Amino acid sequence: MAVASSTGGFSPAILIVLFAAVVIAVIVIGAIQAAKRRQAWQALAQRYGCSFSAADPFAIDECHPQSLFDKGDRRKAYNVLSGKIENQDVMAFDYQYTERHGTGKNRHDTTYHFTCLLLAPPIPFQRLWIRPESFLDRVGEFFGLDDIDFESDEFSRRFFVKCPDKKFAYDILHARTMELLLECGKIFIEAQDDSILFYYSGSLRVPEDVAMLIQRGLRFLELIPSYLIEQKWERPDATRNV
């Protein structure tokens, strides 16, 4: 005898079974996709002659000063590629953190994903933030909360730049560096002391995009002016708390 009810022709028991089947399918598909991504990362590491670790062996979020690593809870770096490429120490990885929103029945967690690259610059960096300019940035500019503007109108429109020392920002972001960053799309950069973090937010990038990110990151270091390297720029202590 067919089981019918006010639930649209299915009994509550059947609905529970269907829901459980969907949940299991989602988990299985997620696990398969994660395994494929690990394999792709491992292949990329092998291509560069680098090491690969599915987990984070370096405690990345605890050892670097970038603000990305201070956000949210359940922070995790994974699929970590590390080694030397073109005689430069390189670390590329996936990263995520979770934030809780709302209260009571409306409370929910949101997990944010990033594809990241960490490099060590040849000079100590003052704190430098570069990110895609948003609508709120334009509103802030109207009220006088301006960022650093550059000779390139296109670069100034597309990127928000903040640094405690404008001269340092201008020295680093000269014409060729701005041209490079314009090729990178919606990239984020946080530099401070002896590390520079390049990252994309949102959907995780495929390994070919990671390879391009690595090459562009290395190019960014090449474009640091030689006179800054010769001077061994010393960052004033006053910039530490900006």
Query: Model confidence over 88-136: pLDDT tens digits?
Result: 999 999 999 999 887 777 788 899 999 999 999 999 999 999 999 875 6
C-alpha 114/C-alpha 61 separation (Å) is: 13
Instruction: Give a yes or no: residue 145 inside a domain.
Output: yes
Nearest to 209 by CA among 129, 78, 94: 94
Answer yes or no: is 4 within a domain: no
CA atoms 181, 186, 187, 188: torsion sign? positive
Contact call for residues 217 and 119 (beta carbons, < 8 A): yes
Domain count, the chain: 1
Q: Is the pTM for the entire model greater than 0.85?
A: no
Which of 165, 157, 219 minimizes the C-alpha distance to 192?
165
189 vs 107, higher pLDDT = 189
6 assigned to some structural domain: no
**Mean pLDDT value across residues 132-157:** 74
Looking at the chain, the whole-number percentage of residues with pLDDT higher than 70 is 79
The crossing angle, in degrees rounded to 10, of helices 207-222 and 175-182 is: 170
**Residue whose pair of structure tokens reads 């639930």 in the numeric block:** 7
| pLDDT tops 80 at residue 237 | no
The range of the structural domain enclosing residue 164 comes to 12-239
152 Cα distance to chain centroid: 25
Identify residue 157 by its one-letter amino acid code: R
Q: Residues near 115 by Cβ (< 8 Å), separated by ≥ 6?
A: 92, 94, 95, 199, 200, 204, 205, 209, 210, 213
Q: What integer pLDDT is reported at residue 145 of this predicted model?
A: 59
Query: Is the residue at 53 inside a domain?
Result: yes
Report the Cα 166 to chain-centroid distance in Å.
24
Say which residues have a Cβ less than 8 Å from residue 188's Cβ, sequence separation at least 6: 68, 130, 131, 132, 197, 198, 199, 200, 201
Average pLDDT, rounded, for the chain: 84
Greater confidence (118 vs 235) lies with 118
Is residue 167 within 8 A of residue 150, CB to CB? The reply is no
Mean per-residue pLDDT, 132-160: 76
Regarding predicted confidence, which is higher, 57 or 205? 57
pLDDT band of 12, cuts 50, 70, 90: confident
Indicate whether 146 belongs to any domain. yes
In angstroms, the Cα distances linking 121 to 74, 82, 213, 228, 236 are: 29, 16, 16, 11, 17
User: Residue 213: pLDDT above 90?
Assistant: yes
The answer to whether position 1 is within a domain reads no
Q: Is the pLDDT of residue 33 over 70?
A: no
* Locus of tokens 């990329």: 44
| Better-predicted residue by pLDDT, 170 or 28 | 170
Q: What mean pLDDT do residues 128-145 have?
A: 69
Residue 83's Cβ-count burial label (10 Å; 0-12, 13-18, 19+) is middle
Asked if the model's pLDDT at residue 156 lies above 60, the reply is yes
Could you tell me where the DSSP H helices lie in the chain?
12-48, 60-63, 135-142, 153-158, 166-172, 175-182, 207-222, 226-231
pLDDT-derived band at 20, boundaries 50, 70, 90: low
Give yes or no for residue 143 having a pLDDT over 50: no
pLDDT score, position 234: 52
- Domain membership flag for residue 5: no
Q: What is the pLDDT of residues 61-81, one digit of tens each?
A: 998 989 999 999 999 999 999
Q: Residue 2: inside a domain, yes or no?
A: no
Name the percent of the chain lying above pLDDT 90: 62
> What pLDDT sits at residue 34?
75
Distances in Å between the Cα of 238 and the Cα atoms of 48, 95, 108 are: 40, 31, 40
